[in-house]
Amino acid sequence: MPQGHETPETVYHIEKSPQGALLSIENFSLWYGKNQALFQVNMAVEKGLVTALIGPSGCGKSTLLRSINRMNDLIDGIRISGNILLDGIDIYSPDVDVIGLRKTMGMVFQKPNPFPMSIADNVAYPLRVDGIRDKKILRETVVNTLKAAALWDEVENRLQDNALGLSGGQQQRLCIARAIAGEPEVLLMDEPCSALDPVATAKIEDLMDELKGRYTIVIVTHNMQQAARVSDNTAFMYLGRLFEYGDTSRVFTNPKVEKTMDYVTGRFG
């Protein structure tokens, strides 16, 4: 952490708690033991839009993303301060059911992690753990979700095959299908295409376009071109601080903060 570095102002082009904000991050800080990883992050994620988090490695993007569905709770020694509000409810308040919270969000990880079950079982898993046993509902959901994830045509004949037999891109789309099977409100994607080839990446970016209206998507990416292509709002983070947040087109063409300009032009990171 550079000492004596004055906190720059973050530049907003969206108001802090607009009407359309689904997810409101207010003065959120996070410590891994003694090390502080996030410094007073303030952000509002709009409903139905794609928000990208960009920045160099180690800037805290994944940490922020995982804080949204409280996956950081799994790590020992985490301490937070500030709030994250989902629809006005503070998700870190002690009377919030973490599992219920995670059911309202879907997460896709960097490396595809399908379960060692059949494709259909993979997609139906969120419903099964929710207690839904009705085979008709499960089957319907599997079909619709796989269609929505643009995977149906490729797997409709082999729904009972093991999911680990799919290719990388197909596995990632399967994970996306699994993430949206439970009808979440927010879809969190942590560098979903970094382990895939360009063709698969293109397919997933198309998918994100299709899913946009129904779901609110927050995507972490270190691929700036992808952020520019896919997202509506972009947040630039560096060393745990949110430097700039606003409309994608404006952030990339006319960034207000010097660091952002340096990053998007490729001068560092």
Partner 1 sequence: MENCIVKNLALKNKSDPNQQSNEAGFASTKAGDHPRKSMTWDIKARGEPFLWGLGGALVLGILMIVGFVVLIIYNGFLTFFPKPIDRVSLRNGSVVAGELSRSEIYRPGPELLASLSEETRREIADRGGLVRRDLYRTGNFDLYNEDFRWVSDYEIAEISVPTDIFFVERIEWGPFIGTIRSVDLNGKILEGDSLTLSALRDAQRKAANRLASLHDIERNQIGAINHYMEKGRLKIRKEELTHGKESPEYRRALEEFKVESDKLDARYLELSKEATAIKERDAKYTMTLADIGGREKTIKLSEIVRYYPANSLTFPEKIRVYLSRWWEFLTQEPREANAEGGVMPAIFGTFCMTVLMALAVAPFGVMAALYLREYAKQGRLVSLVRICVNNLAGVPSIVYGVFGLGFFAYILGGSIDELFFPERLPTPTFGTGGLLWASLTLALLTVPVVIVATEEALAAVPQSMREGSLACGASKWQTIKYIVLPRAMPGIMTGLILAMARGAGEVAPLMLIGVVKMAPELPIDQFSRISTWTAVSCTSVFIFLTLDSSLGTRKLPSPWFTRPLFSLSP
Closest CA to 240 of 62, 50, 24, 46: 62
Kindly provide the b/e burial profile for residues 250-260, where b requires at least 16 CB atoms within 10 angstroms of the residue's own CB: ebbeebbbebb
Instruction: For residue 235, give the nearest of 35, 59, 91 by alpha carbon.
Output: 59
**Is the CB of residue 257 less than 8 Å from the CB of residue 236?**
yes
Query: CB-wise, 126 or 255, nearer to partner 1?
Result: 126
- Count the neighbouring beta carbons within 10 Å of the beta carbon of residue 118: 17
| Contact flag: residue 152 with partner 1 (CB under 8 A) | no
Residues 55, 60, 106, 192: which binds partner 1 (CB under 8 A)? 106
Number of residues interacting with partner 1: please give it, by CB under 8 A. 26
Structural tokens at position 11: 């530049």
Report the 10 Å Cβ neighbour count for 80.
Answer: 17
The rounded distance, in Å, linking the Cα atoms of 96 and 199 is 41
Question: Which one of the spans 27-35, 54-62, 107-115, 208-216 is the region binding partner 1 (CB under 8 A)?
Answer: 107-115
Report the 10 Å Cβ neighbour count for 89.
12
Residue 5 C-beta: closest distance to partner 1, Å:
33
Rounded least distance, CB 102 to partner 1, Å: 5
Give yes or no for residue 47 binding partner 1 (CB under 8 A). no
Residue 34 C-beta: closest distance to partner 1, Å: 18
For partner 1, which residue of 102, 173, 241, 259 counts as binding (CB under 8 A)? 102
Q: Which residue in the set 146, 175, 237, 242 belongs to the binding site for partner 1 (CB under 8 A)?
A: 175
Distance CA 25, CA 28 (A): 6
Task: Check residue 111 for interaction with partner 1 (CB under 8 A).
Answer: yes
- 3-class DSSP state for residue 151? coil
Residue 130 near partner 1 by CB under 8 A = yes
- Find the binder of partner 1 among 2, 4, 100, 198 (CB under 8 A): 100
Can you tell me whether residue 80 is helix, strand or coil?
strand
Question: Considering beta carbons, is residue 103 or 229 the nearer one to partner 1?
Answer: 103
CB of 218: closest distance to partner 1 in angstroms?
13
76 touching partner 1, by CB under 8 A: yes
Applying CB under 8 A, does 178 fall inside the site for partner 1? yes
Whole-Å CA distances, 46 to 151, 184, 211, 232: 28, 15, 15, 10
User: Considering beta carbons, is residue 92 or 125 the nearer one to partner 1?
Assistant: 125
Minimum distance of partner 1 from residue 221's CB (angstroms): 18
- Whether 261 and 47 have beta carbons less than 8 Å apart is answered as no
Interface with partner 1, residue 241, by CB under 8 A: no
Site for partner 1 (CB under 8 A): which residue of 5, 15, 34, 74?
74
Element housing 171 (H / E): helix 168-181
In terms of CB distance, is 12 or 115 closer to partner 1?
115
Residues that bind partner 1 (CB under 8 A): 69, 71, 74, 76, 99-100, 102-103, 105-107, 109, 111, 113-116, 125-126, 128-130, 175, 178-179, 182
